[in-house]
A and B are shown apart, each in its own frame.
Chain A
Amino acid sequence: MAERLLTTSKAIAEAIAQEMERDERVFVMGEDVGAYGGIFGATEGLLEKFGPERVMDTPISEMGFIGAGVGAAIEGMRPVVELMFVDFFGAAMDQIYNHMAKIHYMSGGRVNVPMVLMTAIGGGYSDAAQHSQCLYGLFAHVPGLKIVVPSTPYDAKGLMIQAIRDEDPVMYFFHKGVMGLGWMTPNPRATGPVPEEPYTVPFGQAAVRREGTDLTILTLSLMVHRSLDAAEKLAEEGISAEVIDLRTLVPLDRETIVESVKKTHRVMIVDEDYKSFGMSGELATIVVEEALDYLDAPPKRLAVPDTPIPYSRPMEQFVIPSVDRIAEAARELVTS
């Protein structure tokens, strides 16, 4: 039988639906998650299946409904809350980092907050500075949040089921460019095989998406797709790049990172988040701390160069890592 293919957005919606069928404590709330099906399709079809009591459209009150998710989770529910764009976190950050993230710790481990906060990230389609950020590094910086950033439809489903079943608060970041939406630039990697039955993808296990020997590319989300495209080009030139999809930042699979670098002796971090004080610096530090003696060159970073995301196409394409610039940076690294 042929493998069933799904887009990432349909894989996420299916994961939530299957958990809602399995566990009556699971419910969904957010802006336009009902009849609209979520602006990026993550809740498509759920209202029809489960009704408005379990798939709740909210007013534009991110502080209120994310905080309500915290309260409902403490009282034993399993809320899946959507923050439409991660860029809107400012309206709710107190509830995310002071409450959702810290209540388990502040209570001495006596109160659990098993909620999922899912949100859309990423640019590349001229939505400019307030609708195009990634920001997973910012949330990974705050103790107490698990940070999930899938790149494939298979992972999107398995990581979402794991997130809903997890006892800790999870932030689940889906990149608009990996969702397989009809109104975005077509991305063949946004559609892939997804088993019908429920399954989980464990947190803290990176995936080696392509094996290589000359350099390691550490990345996640849409940048996995671009790094794989770059690796194909590089292969034609005789450069063998290993591409590692981190899948989750918290917990982070340090072992796979370090083992790969020990094999390739060169590492490049490709990140669609801002460069300074973020994921790329953290990963470079881990490599230096744990595998310095194996490095033939300093770690290389390709990330958004500390500017807001500009609107105009040439400028936006300049700041977000592209296939060509990933390949170019890789060439520089292996010849350094």
Chain B
Amino acid sequence: MHELSIVTSIIKTAEKEVETIGGGQIAEIYLEIGKLSGVEIQSLNFIWDLCAKDTVLQDSKVTIMEPEGSAKCAECDTEFKLEKIYDSCPKCHSPFKNIISGKELKIKKLIIN
């Protein structure tokens, strides 16, 4: 259940940002959590309210973008969709690749009032 650490880390960052601008409450938060990031969105949603209670994120609207996994083959340069982190190149079947997207784990934006 590392989603707990993820959520608590988000809350800490958010609290700090709010403190920096002299207080307030977060109306909206935009997260980017890639499909290959290793975070289960369902688990994250499950614990979100519990963790956010009595923090600047209580009752905030949460928007999560989930970029699909994609990679570029290190052998033949083919770009392909990565459903699983161990998918091989569909053209030359090489397992060597560079992941282009899907590993994102970011707080994109906060809207504070």
A and B assemble together? no
**Interface residues, chain A, with chain B CB atoms under 8 Å away:** none
